[in-house]
Amino acid sequence: MTNYVDETRYSIGVDLGGTDIKAGLVSSAGDIFCRVVLPTDVETGGPKVVAARIAEAVRQVLVNAGTTSIDITSENPESREGLLGRFFEATSSIQTDDDVHEIGVGLGAPGLIIAETGVVHFSPNFPGWSDIPLVAYVNAELEKLQPPKPAVQTDTHKRCKPVLRGMDNDVNAMTLGELHHGAGVGYKSLVALTLGTGVGGGVVIDGKVYHGSRNTAGELGHTVVEPNGRVCGCGNPGCLEAYAGAKNIVERIQGKIEDGRRSSLADPLDEGVALTPRMIAEAAEAGDALAIEIFAETGQYIGIALTSIAHILNPQIAIIGGGIAEAGEKLLFEPIRKELSKRAMDIPAQMEIVKAHLGNDAGIVGAAMLAMEGA
Ligand SMILES: [Zn+2]
């Protein structure tokens, strides 16, 4: 494996979602350039159509990069003046391999991903996909983008050929992003939790994302926190996700209001307003006792899950991201820490709990790191 920390290098990170494909050129320092967002267009076709959309996003990143002053074909950061290694619209074939600079692409995709073989086993965002060799499909599409020999050949202007080098689960990619360029910098063992619609997780042991025996490790959202509790989307009662997922937080406060608890959110609910975690957080900040209680309980459940995780893995740090984490220190992080210190043995209880740093960029940065790791 190449050590990519000592020299500035670039790869392209692609964050595949059910709605959008986000892509960008990422330096080994973790900076993103030349961003592109395209609709995934999953309705219009099968996996090959999505693979073509991914290739199109990569092409657009390279075209955008062509107008910048970054030379991605150079491994020497001193030589950044001049144009980027040229990427041209495909109109003819490459004549010699010496003129071509291969640039790695990494892909984060939702669902159960078999990283070694580049296969999407199953994805809730892509109904009907079963054991899809997505890496092979994307590389077939990228092949079609091969840049032609430029009219004027120079020593410094090589042409870029993108190659998809790695794919992993999107949460594992985000975890890798936080490890290399976010809240996890300087740590070797960590866990990451993303609190969004669902609750995703990633595990890093000794500097590497841990995949388990069959690629399903890190499903921290399905840690049981209440034996006979709310039924999770996975069918099991009492998973963390059934309490800390966005929809579940909303349902919990609605249930309490319907049971007669007072809250400033009762009136908007009566008027048919669809509550969101952000509205609950705003009510809590304005002093609404029930909203504060809902976040305290959410923190408590996360703390219970992290207690088990701390005892099993003894990570140095737990990184918590996603929209719900925006509720912040007082509403969410303090209750989490309080629960962990109440329950865990003294050494595992010392696990640090921090907010993720990269926000929505973690997916692109982490995906790009997949390509650099495989370099
Ligand atoms: Zn579950």
Residue 80 has what pLDDT? 41
Whether 158 and 194 map to the same domain: the answer is no
CA dihedral 205, 298, 278, 169 (to 10 degrees): 30
Q: Is residue 4 part of a domain?
A: no
How does pLDDT run across 27-69, given as a tens digit for each residue? 888 999 889 999 997 777 799 999 999 999 999 898 887 666 5
Q: Is residue 2 part of a domain?
A: no
What's the CATH code of the domain at 314? 3.30.420.40
Whether 198 and 344 map to the same domain: the answer is yes
Q: What's the mean per-residue pLDDT of the chain?
A: 87
124 CA to middle of ligand 1, Å? Answer: 14
Whether 132 and 171 map to the same domain: the answer is yes
Whether 250 and 153 map to the same domain: the answer is no
Q: Is residue 307 part of a domain?
A: yes
How does pLDDT run across 204-238, given as a tens digit for each residue? 999 999 999 999 999 999 999 999 999 999 999 99
253 CA to middle of ligand 1, Å? Answer: 20
How much of the chain exceeds pLDDT 70, in percent? 84
4 CA to middle of ligand 1, Å? Answer: 37
Global pTM value: 0.87
320 CA to middle of ligand 1, Å? Answer: 18
Residue 372 has what pLDDT? 85
236 CA to middle of ligand 1, Å? Answer: 5
143 CA to middle of ligand 1, Å? Answer: 40
**Number of structural domains in the chain:** 2
Q: Is residue 5 part of a domain?
A: no
Whether 265 and 198 map to the same domain: the answer is yes
Whether 286 and 239 map to the same domain: the answer is yes
Q: Is residue 155 part of a domain?
A: yes
Whether 124 and 219 map to the same domain: the answer is no
How does pLDDT run across 72-129, given as a tens digit for each residue? 655 544 444 333 444 443 333 444 555 677 889 999 999 999 999 999 999 988 989 9
Q: Is residue 302 part of a domain?
A: yes
Q: Is residue 3 part of a domain?
A: no
111 CA to middle of ligand 1, Å? Answer: 14
| CA pair distance 340, 249, nearest whole angstrom | 20
C-alpha distances out from residue 350 to 125, 235, 312, 363, Å: 37, 33, 14, 28
Residue 69 has what pLDDT? 56
Q: Is residue 326 part of a domain?
A: yes
Q: 171 is in which domain, residue-wise?
A: 10-175+366-373
Between strands 10-16 and 20-27, the pairing is: antiparallel
Q: Is the pLDDT of residue 159 over 80?
A: no
